[in-house]
């Protein structure tokens, strides 16, 4: 069987990691593969006897993809047995069985994140993917329940968890005698559902009670938009000695930041899966995370500390407890937790379901 895989988003952040790390396991199976995307970015796979790269740089979710997708390209896609996308975008004229991935369905759950027009457009894409897909993959039972709530229960929705990038495991194996610093790390964008404003309120309260630590935000200050002025003012009021933005950093720098941090805080109001707490624990750093459904599901049994979602006072108390009062030792994950989520497992579920 020939499987066409849409690889156009292979360099994206979350979706790109899901695709890049699943792909080596997918192509090990006894199938032929047609990889849709940029030949330069897919060059490492082009020498495999069971792989052919189909040049396509049309942007996902673009008008051209929806209404003017090249018929010649669609015809080559349709020569495969099925089409798999790591996201919920589907080119026009694709007639073979389609399998898509919806990582989360946040916008109808949190409509305040976009305009009415923006919500309508996103729901159109969600519903189109649901209608055209034979099966849908997602990354947690929570996301599955929300997809079924908003889109229906007629189509099979299969959970294929996301997983940690193997480079974190390699870094962990080689890192010796890492010295912890008085830093708290936040990883994520500044959109409302990531909860940065709640963390800033809690951090400000903790500083007034003597917390000496510095908050390091992994991201660029320049990414703040006009609508984020309230959050930006909070960071400025705390001062550069208390809050720092890293700007864009490499994976190597991210691992160094995480391994030397005293604590990672994930104050999210909504997630589908969320990898930073796992990345932190793999590198020996404690994680303080909100008790939203997806995080309670994903990190059940892990040595994390939960705080009441959206409650800056509770988050402050937990910060003081972990960093001043108790100072728990660095987490050590047993193999059953260290390898609970792997892309080998993810790929095996995908292959099983599309067969």
233 pLDDT higher than 60: yes
Same domain, 134 and 175: no
Average pLDDT over residues 313-325: 96
Stated pTM of the model: 0.91
Cβ-count burial 181-202 (b if 16+ within 10 Å, e if not): eebbbbbbebbbbbbbbbbbbb
Q: How far apart are CA 157 and CA 130, in angstroms?
A: 10
Bridge partner residues of 82 (DSSP): 3
| Pair 27, 33: CB distance under 8 Å | yes
Closest CA to 272 of 119, 152, 162, 196: 162
Same domain, 230 and 317: yes
User: Rounded mean pLDDT of the chain?
Assistant: 92
Same domain, 139 and 40: yes
225 pLDDT higher than 60: no
Same domain, 320 and 180: yes
Q: What is the CATH number of the domain that holds 117?
A: 3.40.50.2000
Q: How far apart are CA 243 and CA 248, in angstroms?
A: 16
Identify the band that residue 47 occupies on the pLDDT scale cut at 50, 70 and 90.
confident
Average pLDDT over residues 150-176: 91
Q: What SS3 state is found at 10?
A: coil
Same domain, 98 and 179: no
Same domain, 16 and 106: yes
Q: How big is the CA angle at 202 (ends 197 and 207), to the nearest 5 degrees?
A: 125
| Pair 103, 124: CB distance under 8 Å | no
Backbone angles phi, psi at 343, to 5 degrees: -75, -20
Q: Would you state the pLDDT for residue 226?
A: 43
Q: Print the domain residue range for 251.
A: 166-338
Q: For tokens 């003081």, what's the residue?
A: 320
Q: What SS3 state is found at 223?
A: helix
> What's the structural domain count of the chain?
2
Same domain, 215 and 325: yes
Q: How big is the CA angle at 110 (ends 105 and 115), to the nearest 5 degrees?
A: 100
Q: Would you state the pLDDT for residue 46?
A: 83
12 pLDDT higher than 90: no
| Pair 139, 103: CB distance under 8 Å | yes
Q: What digits encode the pLDDT tens for the residues 113-136? A: 899 999 999 999 999 999 999 999
343 pLDDT higher than 90: yes
The mean-pLDDT minimum among 10-19, 152-161, 335-344 falls in 10-19
Tokens coding 250: 């490499």
Identify the band that residue 232 occupies on the pLDDT scale cut at 50, 70 and 90.
low
Same domain, 36 and 113: yes
Q: How far apart are CA 343 and CA 24, in angstroms?
A: 9
Q: Would you state the pLDDT for residue 229?
A: 65
Average pLDDT over residues 172-182: 85
Same domain, 193 and 277: yes
The mean-pLDDT minimum among 95-104, 150-159, 229-238 falls in 229-238
**Of all residues in the chain, what percent carry a pLDDT higher than 70?**
95
Q: Would you state the pLDDT for residue 42?
A: 94
Same domain, 177 and 262: yes
Sequence-separated (6 or more) residues with CB below 8 Å from residue 341: 161, 162, 163, 164, 278
Sheet holding 287-290, edge to edge: 243-245, 214-218, 183-187, 263-266, 287-290, 305-307
């Amino acid at each position: 069987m020939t499987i066409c895989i849409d690889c156009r988003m292979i360099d994206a952040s979350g979706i790109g990691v899901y695709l890049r790390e699943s792909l080596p396991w997918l192509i090990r199976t006894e199938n032929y593969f047609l990889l849709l995307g940029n030949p330069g970015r897919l060059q490492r796979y082009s020498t495999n006897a069971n792989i052919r790269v189909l040049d396509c740089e049309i942007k996902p979710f673009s008008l051209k993809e929806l209404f003017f997708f090249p018929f010649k390209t669609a015809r080559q896609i349709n020569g495969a047995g099925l089409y798999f996308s790591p996201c919920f975008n589907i080119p026009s004229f694709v007639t073979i069985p389609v399998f898509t991935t919806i990582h989360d369905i946040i916008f109808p759950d949190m409509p305040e994140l976009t305009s009415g027009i923006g919500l309508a457009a996103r729901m159109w894409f969600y519903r189109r993917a649901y209608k055209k897909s034979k099966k849908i993959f997602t990354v947690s039972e929570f996301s599955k329940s929300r997809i079924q709530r908003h889109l229906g229960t007629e189509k099979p929705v299969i959970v294929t968890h996301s997983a940690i990038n193997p480079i974190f495991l390699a870094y962990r194996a080689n890192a010796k005698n890492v010295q912890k610093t008085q830093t708290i790390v936040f990883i994520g964008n500044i959109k409302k559902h990531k909860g940065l404003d709640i963390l800033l309120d809690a951090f400000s309260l903790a500083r007034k009670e003597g917390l000496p630590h510095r908050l390091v935000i992994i991201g660029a200050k320049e990414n703040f938009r006009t609508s984020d002025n309230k959050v930006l003012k909070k960071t400025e009021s705390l001062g550069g000695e208390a809050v720092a933005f890293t700007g864009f950093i490499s994976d190597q720098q991210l691992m160094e930041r995480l391994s030397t941090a005293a604590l990672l805080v994930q104050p999210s109001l909504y997630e589908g899966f969320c990898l930073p707490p796992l990345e932190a624990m793999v590198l020996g750093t404690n994680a303080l995370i909100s008790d939203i459904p997806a995080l309670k599901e994903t990190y059940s049994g892990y040595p994390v500390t939960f705080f009441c979602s959206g409650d800056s006072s509770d988050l402050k108390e937990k910060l003081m407890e972990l960093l001043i009062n108790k100072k728990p030792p660095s987490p050590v994950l047993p193999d059953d937790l260290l390898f609970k989520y792997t892309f080998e497992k993810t790929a095996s579920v995908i292959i099983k379901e599309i067969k």
